[in-house]
Amino acid sequence: MPVCLDQRQIPGLSRLYADYLYQFDRVARFYGAAASPLAPGTLASAAQQVSYAPSLRARVTEALAAGNRAWGAGPATEELLARLRRPETVVIVTGQQVGLFGGPLLTVYKALTAVLTAERLRADGVSAVPVFWLASQDHDFAEINQAWVLGAGGDSQCVALPQPPAPPQSPVGRIVLGPEVGAALEAFAQATGAAAEAVAPLAGAYQPGETLASAFARLLAQWFAPWGLIVLDPLDPALAAAAAPVVEQAVERHDELTAALQQRSRELRESGYHAQVHTDGAALLFLETDGQRQPLRFGSGGAQAGAQRFSVSQLATLARTEPHRFSPGALLRPLVQDYLLPSAAQVTGPAETAYLAQSSALYAVLGRFQPLRLPRLSATLLDARARRLLDKYQLTVPDVWGLDTQGDAPAALAAHLARQTVPEGLAATLASQREAAVEGFTAIGSQVAGLDPSLVDFVRTAGDKVRHQFDQVEAKLARGLARRQEDLARQARHLVGQLYPQRQLQERIWNSAAASLRLGPLWPALLHDQLQSACPDHQFLDI
């Protein structure tokens, strides 16, 4: 079984997310919930409160069926689509940007959390299916065009797609892959050391002519075929048309929604939390003009997108007649999602959970049911070598996370390991001499205090300087040993590459497809079978 670690030990974890996981009563008012989403019975209770129009169910399911078949969905997905057509079925939804080659490993953890949660509900007699929402409407290509791979030496290597010949701020899901994807696949295979046959499934999804969204969807369909994960692309014109009523509401009630967001942001800050999205200047809606996704900036009597101005009535008409041109910003997206789907719960990471504390104010304005927000699985995969090194040097993963975040993490760890290789006698001598010096200056300070109190601070400073010199000797000795002991440097690079690549959690850096190559044919069944879906902690899994 995996080892679990309280996520409050993760560097940089926000207070809001920490309280969401472990002290939910402190933040419950920001999520429209009375009990923790992980409390027994809470999920089943949320499923019972879902209300969904039969006509919308039929319309959305038909669009989802067409899309998933185009992406190569298998029998398990067809079975869940048939289940979704039933009036009692609810959805566990999650989503992520359409990152190159499956994006970071956390993408898979999100999908797995949705799959496992739906399975748990079905085991309790509640009809539920998992849905993965592609964030294909986003326009920041630089956020999704790279895949980070752990090289043989423990260093992170980046495989990236060049900027496409598309208009600036184009929705990334519309970007069509060209011949350059072949070069990226070759670079990926070289970086991972994978044989051509191992990369073949990835190449089957990422082909010239596919979009970034369709390639991503095909890859998810392959990986999650055993569990029937349903994939949703909001760029689908049929789904955009189905979402038109909520977009129209957002246009007509923009001022109310903005005021509610600003009030909620103030409440969060006054409670000692952060507002994930700065509401001043944040766009609730975007409008595509000339192939570019432009933020709608509302002002007196209307709004502007790029160089074009619209009245509120013109925008409301556009929402009905050309709904495919609209897309929600981060704060409105959950409402569009939960209008399109019979959502009982959404699986989210730390940043999403934070901005949903703001978005919940919008649900109140529009009188909408707010689903549960379930924390996604969080995990680190440990290979045998990393586990062996941790045991050998009596290190914990938080020890590695706690390295100097401003410097060279592998060098800092190598120096730490080198300290443990200092000859026992020398280490004892340094320790005893340091202790003697500290005691000596303490004694001098006590005697000087009775003679001339003005000299006490001078003596204390002198003692600190001597103690610092001992520390410097020990540190320089450790660094010298580290430089001479390449084995330690290699071990440090491996540990940092595994546990803290680029001073980030592994799940945020490691590419999903690269991880699949490491796990081989067990992917992702190993994760499905061994990770604990209802655990709020960070988990460690031996691979």
DSSP three-state, residue 237: helix
Which tens digits make up the pLDDT trace of 227-266? Answer: 999 999 999 999 999 999 999 999 999 999 999 999 999 9
Q: Which two tokens stand for residue 439?
A: 């005691």
pLDDT value of position 422: 63
- Alpha-carbon distance 490 to 388, whole Å? 14
Q: What is the DSSP letter of 39?
A: S
Between 150 and 73, name the one with better pLDDT: 73
Cβ–Cβ contacts within 10 Å for residue 393, how many? 17
Beta bridge partners of 348: 375
DSSP three-state, residue 31: coil
Average pLDDT over the chain, rounded to whole?
Answer: 90
- Alpha-carbon distance 61 to 217, whole Å? 17
Q: Which of 11, 14, 12, 13 is nearest to 269 (CA)?
A: 14
Sorted by sequence, the CB contacts under 8 Å of residue 97 that are 6+ apart come out as 103, 135, 138, 143, 144, 172
Cβ–Cβ contacts within 10 Å for residue 163, how many? 12
* Band of residue 484 on the pLDDT scale cut at 50, 70, 90: low
Which tens digits make up the pLDDT trace of 382-440? Answer: 999 999 999 998 999 999 998 765 668 888 888 888 777 666 677 677 777 877 877 77
Quick check: pTM over 0.95? Answer: no
* Cα–Cα distances in angstroms (integers) from residue 537 to residues 34, 226, 471, 528, in the given order: 21, 26, 36, 16
CA dihedral 14, 18, 20, 25 (to 10 degrees): -120
* Band of residue 533 on the pLDDT scale cut at 50, 70, 90: confident
pLDDT value of position 446: 80
